Amino acid sequence: MPSARPVSTAPPVRLRRRSPRRRTRWVGLGFAALPLALYALVVIVPLAQSVQYSFFRWDGVSVATWVGLDNYVEFLTDPVLRSTFSHVLVLICFFSLLPIALGLLSAAMLTRSKQPGMAVFRWIFFLPQVMTSVVIALVFKRIYAPDGPLNSLLEALGLDALTRTWLADFTWALPALGLIGTWVTFGFCMVLFISGTSAIAPELYEAARVDGAGPVREFFAVTLPGLRGQVAVALTLTITASLRTFDLVWITTHGGPGTSTLTPAVALYKAAF
């Protein structure tokens, strides 16, 4: 009687195949390698060097002296530098909260009643996004001048008591700068929200109108929830813009009068140089 062959219990050998997803991932990393290397060379390396320099007292010419955390302690205990944070909070209201509120209102009005010429309206308010901040600062510096168009308009309307040297007034200089930021970022927020409302299903608006919703309820029930992503993007970009405000302040007021318009970026620039 022939002997039975032993049954092999070893698991079958499977050939490893490279997954298409993994191959695509490596191809994507290969394409991104050069831009990431350039970004690291231009941004990350100088940033790391700045952190390193912050622990030294150095004028850029002589030998650097190690001071540890003294530069940070001096910055945090300086009353002038601490006052800049309250100025930033004011600028956030003008650069971020006010433009977002106006952008939401404009987007709701423009999408609810479509009238001819709306494309021109959007282009006019988006125009500041394609202008350099230096040009904008110079234009508004002329508008706010004592003999500028703003005071001339107030005098023509018989409101001479409201005329003032806007950028040299301790009370009104910071709000005047904030209104420039409102004008700059409003168009961006409006266009962003209009593009977001175009992606909201029209059936949602029809259902809200069938339920008897008016314009206000329709906005809070349909439009605002549908724009959560756009609002988050607008908040991030506008708050970032308010925190790094430098050229606008430097060209118009240099942080004055006194320190009434001083921002952290301008204060750090003055402290460094």
Question: How do residues 69-116 score in pLDDT, each as one tens digit?
Answer: 988 888 778 888 878 888 999 999 999 999 999 999 988 887 776 666
Number of domains comprising the chain: 2
Last residue of a domain, one of 31, 55, 72: 72
CATH number at residue 132: 1.10.3720.10
The reply to whether 1 falls in a domain is no
Last residue of a domain, one of 6, 37, 72: 72
Do 155 and 263 reside in the same domain of the chain? yes
Interval 121-132 mean pLDDT: 82
Do 197 and 263 reside in the same domain of the chain? yes
Question: What is the average pLDDT score of the chain?
Answer: 86
Do 85 and 200 reside in the same domain of the chain? yes
Do 164 and 89 reside in the same domain of the chain? yes
The pLDDT of residue 228: 93
- The 3-class secondary structure across the chain, one letter per residue, is CCCCCCCCCCCCCCCCCCCHHHHHHHHHHHHHHHHHHHHHHHHHHHHHHHHHHCCEECCCCCCCEECCCHHHHHHHHCHHHHHHHHHHHHHHHHHHHHHHHHHHHHHHHHHHCCCCCHHHHHHHHHHHHHCCHHHHHHHHHHHCCCCCHHHHHHHHCCCHHHCCCHHHCCCCHHHHHHHHHHHHHHHHHHHHHHHHHCCCCHHHHHHHHHCCCCHHHHHHHHHHHHCHHHHHHHHHHHHHHHHCCCHHHHHHCCCCCCCCCCCHHHHHHHHHC
The reply to whether 10 falls in a domain is no
The reply to whether 96 falls in a domain is yes
Q: Is the pLDDT of residue 20 over 80?
A: no
Expressed as residue numbers, the domain containing 42 is 20-72
The pLDDT of residue 4: 53
Rounded Cα distance, 94 and 211, in Å: 36
Last residue of a domain, one of 28, 56, 72: 72
Do 138 and 257 reside in the same domain of the chain? yes
Q: Is the pTM of this model over 0.85?
A: no
The reply to whether 150 falls in a domain is yes
With cut-offs at 50, 70 and 90, classify the pLDDT of residue 150: very high
The reply to whether 145 falls in a domain is yes
Do 182 and 225 reside in the same domain of the chain? yes
Do 202 and 111 reside in the same domain of the chain? yes
Q: What are 14's strand-pairing partners? A: none
Q: Is the pLDDT of residue 12 over 80?
A: no
What percent of the chain stands above pLDDT 90?
42
Do 145 and 66 reside in the same domain of the chain? no
Q: Is the pLDDT of residue 2 over 60?
A: no
The reply to whether 8 falls in a domain is no
Do 248 and 133 reside in the same domain of the chain? yes
- Give the tens place of pLDDT for each residue, 166-196: 999 999 999 999 999 999 999 899 989 988 9
Do 27 and 110 reside in the same domain of the chain? no
Do 164 and 244 reside in the same domain of the chain? yes
Do 213 and 167 reside in the same domain of the chain? yes
- Give the tens place of pLDDT for each residue, 225-234: 999 999 999 9
